[in-house]
Structure 1
Amino acid sequence: MLRQIVGLVIGALLLLSAEVCSAEDMRFVDANDYTGYYVDASSVNYESTAACNAVIAVIKADRNRMFRYTMHFDRGSATYQILSSEVLAYDTKTVLSKSGPDGVAHPYAYASPMRSIVDFIYNDLPHAASAASPGTCR
C-alpha cells in the first residue's frame, strides 16, 4: 500500500513537471534560492559562434511566477537583449502579461545567471558544435 502511494505521488510530480515543459525542451541551468533558470533547448538558434537566440524561463517558486523570455545573446560582447517576454502564473500557466522587444543590449557580469545560461547553451547542449554554422537550430 505504501509503495502504491509513493508511486502515485512520484507519478503526480512527474506529470506536473512534464506539464511545465510539455511543448518545450526545458533544461535546468542554475538556481539561486527560490529562483530557477531554464533554457528551452529546442528553441536555440545559433547565428554564429558568438551569437544566438533562445527561449529561457526564470521560475520564482516563492511568488508562483514564471518569466519566459525570447532573448538574443552575444557572448563576444557579453550582452543580452530581450526580444519578447511573458509573465505567467506558474501553477496554472495563465499568461498575466506580455511585452515586445526592449531594444537595449544589456551587459551581463561574469557571475550572473545570464552568463550561466550562455555558457550552458554553448558548452552543455548537445550539438553545440553546430554553432559554427549560422542559422542551425537545435
Structure 2
Amino acid sequence: MKPAFIVISILILSSCNAVKPGDKVLNQEVPYEEAKNYFVKNNVNAALDNPKFETQQDFDKVFGMATTMGESGKPTPIDFSKEFAVAQVEDPSTQKVELKPVSIRKNANILEIKYRKIIGENQSYTSQHAMILIIDNKYNGDVNFVKVQ
C-alpha cells in the first residue's frame, strides 16, 4: 500500500468520529444580554417551573412590557427565531431584591447560570423580582440556575 493512501484512509476514518457542535463541550463561556424593562405579570405568584422561554407566546404569559420615557425606557427586544430567554423569578416579597448575573457556562447540554441575589430594605408593598437573560440559539440546552454569594 502506498503511504498517501494510508494517511488519507486514517483522515477519513477519524473524521467520521468528529464531535458535533455542542456535544461534549466543557466549561464554555456563553455570551448573554440582560433584558430590561419587563415585569412579572400578576397571575404569576411563585417561582417558575420552567425558566426557559423559546416562543414569544410563552414569554408573554409570564412577562409584560414596562416601557418608560426616553430611549433607554424601551423593553429589550427578543428575536425568538434566533435566541431564547431564561428567567430567574423570585417569590413575591416586601423586600427590595436585585438579581445580578455572574456568568453562564455550558457543560455538555447544560447551561449553568450563576447569579447573585442582593436583598435590600423593606418596602411598603409586595413586588416580584426577575432576572431575564437573552441567549443565542446556538447555545441552547437545559437550564440550571445557581445562586452564589
Answer whether TM exceeds 0.5 for this pair.
no
Q: Does 1 or 2 have the higher relative contact order (CA < 8 Å, sep 6+)?
A: 2
The alignment's TM-score, normalised by the length of structure 1, stands at: 0.26
Larger strand proportion of the pair: 2
Going by fraction, where is helix more abundant, 1 or 2?
Answer: 1
TM-score by length of 2: 0.24
